[in-house]
Amino acid sequence: IAGITQAPTSQILAAGRRMTLRCTQDMRHNAMYWYRQDLGLGLRLIHYSNTAGTTGKGEVPDGYSVSRANTDDFPLTLASAVPSQTSVYFCASSDTSGRPGELFFGEGSRLTVL
């Protein structure tokens, strides 16, 4: 089934540890995004990539990094996790030749930093 796959689905992490959330899509969408979702705050954009080889900062990029080596993969790395990074992380993609803003989301990665 075509779509976006995120891993892990859930993780508990000690503060200070490094963590990479994986995201893979098989829809050949050129744009990909990482959001975090916290209760009462809605979705906040962390980083995005409009095409392979390029990345950009979103609303809340501090403490996170991304890479886009190819079309399908867009990993998100927390270099040194802190408790405020406890959240649900969603990866999404879009076909920029379609409706702007129509996103396809992965199932999310629930991260707890202790």
Q: Going residue by residue from 83 to 102, which x/- string records binding to another protein, judged by CB under 8 A?
A: -------x--------xxxx
Q: Could you give the C-alpha distances from 87 to 33, 43, 80, in angstroms and in order?
A: 16, 11, 15
| Shortest distance in whole angstroms from residue 65 CB to another protein | 20
Count of residues interacting with another protein (CB under 8 A):
17
Q: What's at 83, amino acid-wise?
A: P
Q: Is residue 45 part of the contact set for another protein (CB under 8 A)?
A: yes
Q: Which residues bind another protein (CB under 8 A)?
A: 40-45, 90, 99-108
